[in-house]
Structure 1
Amino acid sequence: MNADARVAPSLVAAAETRIAAYDWQALATELDSFGCAVMEKLLSADECRQLAGLYPQEQHFRSHIHMARHGFGKGEYRYFRYPLPDLVGGLRGALYPRLAAVANRWNERMGIAMRYPATHGAFLDQCHAAGQVRPTPLLLKYVPGDFNCLHQDLYGDLAFPLQVAILLSEPGEDFTGGEFALTEQRPRMQSRVEVVPLRQGDAVAFAVHNRPVQGTKGNYRVNLRHGVSRLRSGMRHTVGIIFHDAK
């Protein structure tokens, strides 16, 4: 694994203490039932402001994307470079094992052979062996009129089936509009929409691509996409934690 991708064990341990405080049985049930689950107050207001304040600092990022140029919507985001900021890297490493347990159970139900290793470092080794070496955690910025089209964050053949977004701004104070939305397409049915209310520091874990649903004849796969509705005023920052790296 690229040494720059490694996170100090002390940082992961500190993040794990924070992550362990949540009721993961309840969160797993939410993920199973709806494809998403909210972790309230994952970050403090100060941590949110510190991360949002990184956006104009070029040295932290490997690329800068303007959504309109690619048909992704309207707004912009920056992909972090390795080494990731301590907080982002620590949370990425600490969240992964909890979500890998859900991901492995989902794959078993969907008849997918892939099983994810116990640690994020081991999973990144697999990504890098497959030529996926570019970090994918990102920092997004929206201003009035911006939105993010429904999409899936798949950056190569090897993709982890869950990801996390953390809202860094306070709705009603820093911005209005800009709701996180998740759509789910079930076979021979119209799409179901889940609008996820978040406050500053809240995180939402959600399915990247597919999840299993129990039907009358066993489990079947549903297809999910996520996006952000139009920002009506102010400025909105979000951190996205994606667990696979990109080609």
Structure 2
Amino acid sequence: MILPDLKTRIADLDTANIARNLGDKGWAVVPRLLDDAQCEALKADYGSDGLYRSTVHMQRHGFGRGEYRYFRYPLPAPVATLRSAFYPLLAGIANDWWEAMGRTTLFPADHDSFLAQCALGGQSRPTPLILRYGAGDHNCLHQDLYGALHFPFQVAILLSRPGEDFSGGEFVMTEQRPRMQSRPHVVPLRQGDAVIFAVDEALRQGTRGTYRVKLRHGVSEIRSGERFTLGVIFHDAM
């Protein structure tokens, strides 16, 4: 069955390697987390209006060009599984970062408890989404912060095939270092690959100890075709 297999695959990921990549770069790639059939099924669901609570046309808000749709509760089973299975793996890394930053409020071990904290702060709208881009579309650099409470990592899964379904459309991150120019990164992805990345701040080890950098992410212009991405955000929105 798909869902137990997905839970097992996430549970079996090398947490130490993910933590190391997040610390070194601010992101970690999980190759082929979803197979072709799972990607195509999620793409096909984009037209199912009943699954979504809202649709955002990015150009109207200055976010770029393209559109995305936020899922409503209850989330589709694959999306709910990704969210609940990834959270405990990442919560331990998140707490290590929070402690290194001197923060005393840590994240609970299970996702339901974290969502309960979000709800107490007035954040109760689901944030997982699917993004669709066509030729000429792009996503401006941004951070997915939806309220005072946020989880420090999120996951994006490329549902389309680079070079076949679309060209261009690279996943881009920028790193703002203290008293230095921003540094850009391009993260190569294939269909089904997941990228785990820091939402806001990342930790770096320097010659004088640990310091923080600000991260933003976006998508470069799609030159041709159509590109779909699933975004898995762990905090809810106001």
Displacement of 1:79 in angstroms is: 0.2
Seen in structure 2, the aligned counterparts of structure 1 residues 23 and 80 have a Cα distance that, compared at 3 Å, is: same
Q: Secondary structure at the match of 1:221?
A: strand
Matched, 1:54 2:54: no
Alignment of 1:208 onto 2:199: yes
* CA-atom RMSD in angstroms: 1.4
> Whole-Å Cα distance in 2 between the matches of residues 179 and 137 of structure 1?
20
Query: Are 1:245 and 2:236 counterparts?
Result: yes
Q: Report percent identity of matched pairs.
A: 60
Kindly provide the amino acid, as one letter, of the partner of residue 139 in structure 1. I
How far did residue 57 of structure 1 move?
1.1
**2:30 is aligned with what amino acid?**
M
Aligned-residue offset at 1:161: 0.5
Structure 2 Cα separation of the partners of residues 187 and 152 of structure 1: 18
Q: Relative to structure 2, which stretch is displaced further, 18-27 or 90-99?
A: 18-27
2:145 corresponds to which of 148, 154, 158? 154
Contact kept, 8 Å, 1:168 with 1:239, in 2: the verdict is yes
Q: 2:230 is paired with a residue of what secondary structure?
A: strand
For residues 70-106 of structure 1, give each alpha carbon's deviation from its aligned partner in whole angstroms, at most 9, with x where no partner exists: 0000000000000111001001000001111111111
Which residues in structure 2 correspond to 1:226-237 (within 5 Å)?
Answer: 226-237=217-228
Q: Contact 1:14/1:90 (CA < 8 Å) preserved in 2? A: no
Equivalent-residue separation in structure 2 for 1:209 and 1:44 (angstroms): 29
* 1:129-165, Cα deviation, whole Å (9 max, x unpaired): 1110000000000000000000000000000010000
SS in 1 for 2:70: strand
Q: Which amino acid aligns with 1:188?
A: R
Shift of 1:15: 3.4
Tell me the equivalent position of 2:72.
81
Matched residue, 2:164: 173
Q: Deviations over 1:185-207 (max 9, x none)?
A: 00011111111100000000000
Runs of at least 4 residues off by over 4 Å: 10-14
Q: Does the CA contact (< 8 Å) of 1:168 and 1:236 recur in 2? A: yes
Q: How much does 1:11 deviate?
A: 9.0
1:196 maps to 2:187: yes
1:64 equivalent in alignment to 2:55: yes
The answer for the alignment partner of 1:3 in structure 2 is none
Q: CA deviation at 1:13?
A: 5.5
The one-letter amino acid of 1:37's match is A
| TM norm structure 2 | 0.97
Q: Hey, what does 1:26 align to over in structure 2?
A: 17
What is the TM-score with the length of structure 1 in the denominator? 0.93
CA distance in 1, matches of 2:112, 2:3: 11
Report the count of equivalent residues: 238
Quote the Cα distance in structure 2 between the aligned partners of 1:11 and 1:198. 22
CA contact (8 A) 1:13 1:94 kept: no
* Residues 11, 135 of structure 1: alpha-carbon distance in 2 compared, 3 angstrom cutoff: farther
